[in-house]
Structure 1
Amino acid sequence: MRVSRRVLSTAVAAGLLVSAAGCGGDDGGGDETLPGGGALKGVKVEVAAKWTGPEEKNFREVLKAFEKKTGATVAYASTGENTDAFLGPRLQANQPPDVAILPQPGLMKQYAAKGSLKALGTDVTQQIDANFTPYWKELGSAEGKTYGVLIKAAYKSIMWYRPQVFSDAGVQPPATWADLVKAAGTVRDSGTTPFTLAAGPQDAWTLTDWFENVYLSQAGPDKYDQLAEHEIKWTDPSVAKALETLAEIWGKPDLFAGGVSQATKTKFDASVTEVFGQQKAAMVYGGDFAAANIGTTKSKVGTDAKVFAFPKAGDTAPAMLGGDIAVALKDGKGAMELMKFLASPEAGKIWAGLGGYLSPNKGVPPEAYADPVAKQLIAQLQQAGDAARYDMSDLTPAAFGGTPGKGMWEALRGFVQKPSDVKGTQAKLEAEAAKAYKS
């Protein structure tokens, strides 16, 4: 979700993920020379992204490597959190940056429809074809043309837990949904509340992530795509099955801290710190960005706070991402060469060695990552292969998938409060989706 990516930026800015700033040369191949290296000497390239703090610092290291390889000079501009507010006026004035990093596919498609983006050249798409599965190329495409590449990801198919509680209760990290339900009961019986649940009005994006992981696992990637495009309705039996599965946990208030009344007030930040700071529960849903919140407590990521893969609820092991997409707003050689570089394993390896980074680029191996949790997550992502998917709610119209108090967020909040009402929840989801897609 959009909120979660903001939290991810906070995670990196806080410096909470293990960093190895000196790794770039060893892991990234920083001294290698691109074909035609030096050919861009005297060329100036401007790239705009929302990143600040250490996240910006690490990206600048990647850009320095590009400068060294090509001879170009790169200027970085921070867009702030509202990327469209920064780029919109510059596009209207016909003075866009050469390259921009967009926070969601919807914005890329919006700009492509307006003619603001430049289709990527053959040499760039060859890098994409070599290093990404077809799904990620499709994600960066619109109307049959490829415009973008997902260069940085947030991994959203994990659960965080307190290993000491699991050990005391005699349970192992669950691999399947049935195992998760069983483990939750055992943890509860041992005297610890199993979960915190962030279902507050402004943070109900977490509920969409729960749903999407279960749905992807049960219905499979093809049906996931169809639902994301509203090619099938939310009244479909596959949606009912996912909701019924969620009710096995959401429908048992004694499994989460404070029950329903507390959960529907709980913010995401609090849901994490209640587990790892106040120790009110054993587990919490949150992507890799939850490390930021854990870092505000005395718990340490990797020891007091560990992760396990979101349990399989069906035949597919869910692997779901959010992330940032690079696009070219000018078709000059500098813009296209930078896009080519950002799509390459060389750029990804440098970035991975600096920490606070994940990529679906299959040319960046797990051993390139500095962060031990990142190594674990990237291995899960690469094992998922073609079944990995982008966050569904970020693929839908914002009115349905990205607005507090509306659409998917509020319908699932209502389901937490009345988990027996599967058909009513489906009807509400479908009515909201139909309205949003029509507009």
Structure 2
Amino acid sequence: MMRRHTTLLTGCTALALALGATACGGDPVSAGGGDKELGGQTVTVAGVWSGSEQKNFQKVLDAFSEKTGAKTQFVSTGDNVSTVVGSKIEGGNAPDVVMVPQVGVLQQFAKKGWLRPLSPTAQQTITAGYAPVWKKYGSVDGTLYGLYFKAAHKSTVWYSPEALTQAGVKPPKTYDELLKAGHTVSDSGLAAFSVGGQDGWTLTDWFENVYLSQAGPEKYDALAAHKLKWTDPTVVKALTTLGKLFKDKQLVAGGQKEALNTDFPGSVEKVFGPKPEAGMVYEGDFVAGVAHDQYGKSIGKDADFFPFPAVEGGNAPVVSGGDAAVVLKDGKNAKAGMKLLEYLATPEAAAVWAKAGGFLSPNKKLDLASYGDDVTRATAESLVGAGDSVRFDMSDQAPAAFGGTKGAGEWKLLQDFLRDPSDPKGTAAKLESAAAKAYQD
């Protein structure tokens, strides 16, 4: 998915900070070394990133090479990470490190016996720098396998300051205020929301924010693990709440039919493109990247965000996603791969990409001054400040057949619900039927 200034520390101090070891006084450095102990070795890394994300991650890999002497090679897998990595393992050509974009895939890799547990050095650095919830999402059966290097903040509503100012609307604090503000924006001549319903994943994100705030984190965790059925009254209630927005033609740009023909980039265009049709678009922090890169918007001036508001007296939700670095057992240079992972766990590594832009780190030891603008700094602060109340994207925790497949499972059923939100109970029953099958398989 899409998405300052700090001077990188150098010399002895940086090494000690970055590697969690005494890098001064002649002691050996366990995690990579100023003596270029990995010189002549190559670490291969696979991940979904391409374009600017791949380019910026390469800067992090280059910093690792500079520190350790290791060469790095990045392979872009496209969206289907598990299939690509599985075929590489079978072909005897496994990468050393994989950047895994979904909790469900990380669990799948661990259960297949593909992963190495993280080294004590990496574990210590993660324990010191991350809220425990990130260790939970990187662990399977109590063993820590994954380091969440890059995160997404999926509880941000992006808006045109001009549109809201014209309507005389201030960023709302509650879901009811959100709908009320939407009607005011609509009365001023623009639709309230642009909804990218052609991409089913955007609708799962809408549902997850409403559900987390309304039902609370315990129920959210239970539903994510399918220990709670989708027919539960809390699910029906959340769908009813969401349906109020979906069926209101004043609120959704072009109505339901147009929303179903609008993909995620198109939903951003309707707010920040040359011919605005809506004042607001809900999605993650990566909206800013599209608004800036595609439409030249100045983030904080021409495009801004407010937190997804609290629903019916609940807490404001913080839903996240992210990419976890894991080390494969079958990699040709898994030992050097673990050194890379130890480096990625440090604030120094996160600062490289933070400075480049289009990045959030869950690492609370990363200086917020590393981010290049106030808006990114605010989203990062919100993410880190949420601590253990952060919840990982629910559909990313589910088996792909239910939570991550185009035209099937949750994606399709929520698209059907957007088309006709009149029967929340019936939709919940269909979601339960699809979930039961996927979790059984």
How high is the TM-score relative to the length of structure 2?
0.89
Q: 2:107 aligns to what SS in structure 1?
A: helix
Residue 328 of structure 1 aligns to a residue whose secondary structure is strand
Indicate the SS of the match to 2:115. Answer: coil
The answer to whether the aligner puts 1:322 opposite 2:321 as a matched pair is: yes
Q: Does 1:29 align with 2:9?
A: yes
The residue number in structure 2 matching 1:17 is none
Map residues 211-360 of structure 1 onto 2, 5 A cutoff: 211-277=207-273, 278-294=275-291, 295-297=293-295, 299-313=297-311, 314-330=313-329, 332-360=334-362
Letter in 1 for 2:170: Q
* 3-state SS, counterpart of residue 335 of structure 1: helix
1: distance between equivalents of 2:322 and 2:95?
20
Report the equivalent of 2:26.
Answer: none
SS at match of 2:230: coil
Which of 402-411 and 229-238 deviates more? Answer: 402-411
Shift of 1:53: 3.8
* Superimposed CA distance per residue, residues 146-168 of structure 1 (whole angstroms, 9 cap, x where no aligned partner): 11111011221111111112111
For 2:296 and 2:342, how far apart are their aligned partners in 1? Answer: 42
Q: Is 1:435 paired with 2:400?
A: no
- Contiguous gaps of at least 5 residues in structure 1: 12-19
Instruction: State how far apart, in whole Å, the 1-side matches of 2:257 and 2:137 are.
Output: 38
Q: CA separation in 2, counterparts of 1:115 and 1:173? A: 48
Query: Which secondary structure does the structure 2 equivalent of 1:288 belong to?
Result: coil
Q: Give matches, 1:101-116, under 5 Å.
A: 101-116=99-114
Contact 1:141 1:148 in 2 (8 A): yes
The alignment-based identity, stated in percent, is: 46
Q: What is the deviation of 1:426?
A: 0.9
Structure 2 residue aligned with 1:65, among 45, 55, 63?
A: 63
Residue 426 of structure 2 aligns to a residue in which SS? helix
Q: 1:256 to 1:227 in 2, by over 3 A?
A: same
Q: Following the alignment from structure 1 to structure 2, what is the Cα–Cα distance between the partners of residues 232 and 221?
A: 13
Query: Which residue of the partner structure matches residue 120 of structure 1?
Result: 118
1:186-235: per-residue Cα shift (whole Å, max 9, x none)? 112223221122222xx121111111011111222222111001000011
**1:153–1:360 CA contact under 8 A, matched in 2:** yes
Which moves more between the two structures, 37-46 or 263-272? 37-46
| Contact kept in structure 1, 2:56 and 2:356, CA below 8 Å | yes
- Counterpart residue identity of residue 229, structure 2: K
What amino acid is the match of 1:351? W
Contact kept? 1:29, 1:350, Cα under 8 Å:
no
Q: Which residue of 1 aligns with 2:378?
A: 376
Report the residue type matching 2:216 in the other structure. G
**Could you tell me which residue of structure 2 aligns to residue 76 of structure 1?**
73
CA contact (8 A) 2:191 2:251 kept: yes
- Counterpart of 2:184, as a letter, is T
Cα distance in 1 for partners of 2:10, 2:354 equals 13
Matched-pair contact (CA < 8 Å) for 1:276–1:297: yes
Paired residue type of 2:258: Q
Q: CA deviation at 1:242?
A: 1.1
Q: Contact 1:98–1:328 (CA<8 Å) still a contact in 2?
A: yes
Kept after mapping to 2: 8 A contact 1:141/1:147: yes
2:25 corresponds to: none
**Deviating more after overlay: 427-436 vs 398-407:** 398-407
Aligned to 2:410: 408
Q: CA deviation at 1:383?
A: 2.2
CA distance in 1, matches of 2:87, 2:188: 58
Aligned-pair CA distance for 1:292: 4.1
Amino acid at match of 2:257: S
- Aligned CA distance change for structure 1 residues 366 and 166 (closer, same or farther; 3 Å): same
Distance verdict in 2 for CA 1:254–1:213, change over 3 Å: same
Rate the CA distance shift 1:85–1:435 in 2: closer, same or farther, 3 A: closer
Q: Structure 2: where are the runs of 5+ without partners?
A: 22-28
Identify which range, 398-407 or 260-269, moves more after superposition: 260-269
CA distances 1:354-381 after superposition (whole Å, capped 9, x unpaired): 2111011111132221233211101111
Q: Which residue of 2 aligns with 1:418?
A: 420
- Measure the CA separation in 2 of the matches of 1:90 and 1:100: 12
For residue 57 of structure 1, report the CA deviation from its aligned partner: 3.0
Q: Which moved more, 1:324-333 or 1:335-344?
A: 324-333
Contact 1:356–1:371 (CA under 8 A) maintained in structure 2: no
- Give the AA of the match of 2:272: F
Indicate the SS of the match to 2:294. Answer: coil
CA contact (8 A) 1:79 1:86 kept: no
Tell me how far apart the structure 2 counterparts of residues 422 and 284 of structure 1 sit (CA, whole Å): 23
User: How far apart are the structure 2 equivalents of 1:399 and 1:76?
Assistant: 31
Amino acid across the alignment from 1:247: G
TM-score scaled by length of structure 1:
0.89
1:390 matched to 2:388? The reply is no
Count of residue correspondences: 416
Aligned pairs for 1:143-162 within 5 A: 143-162=141-160
Q: Secondary structure at the match of 1:195?
A: strand
Change (3 A) 1:79 1:264: closer
Instruction: Measure, in 1, the Cα distance between the counterparts of 2:283 and 2:154.
Output: 7
Q: Is the alpha carbon distance of 1:85 and 1:399 closer, same or farther for their aligned partners in structure 2, counting shifts above 3 Å?
A: closer
Task: State the distance in 1 between where 2:92 and 2:258 align.
Answer: 50
Against the structure 1 CA distance between its residues 432 and 185, is the aligned structure 2 distance closer, same or farther, given a 3 Å change threshold?
same
Give the Cα separation in 1 of the matches to 2:418 and 2:58.
Answer: 43
Match of 1:100 in 2: 98
The answer (yes or no) to whether the contact 1:30–1:350 under 8 Å persists in 2 is no
1:206 aligns with 2:202: yes
Q: Once the 2 structures are TM-superposed, how far is the Cα of residue 30 of structure 1 from its aligned partner?
A: 4.3
Equivalent position SS for 1:308? strand
Change (3 A) 1:53 1:406: closer
Structure 1, 346-355 or 153-162: larger mean CA deviation: 346-355
More deviation, 285-294/347-356: 285-294
Q: Distance in 1 between matches of 2:87 and 2:245?
A: 47
Counterpart of 2:77, as a letter, is G
Q: How far, CA to CA, are the matches of 1:86 and 1:124 in structure 2?
A: 26
CA–CA separation in structure 1 for the residues paired with 2:55 and 2:251: 42
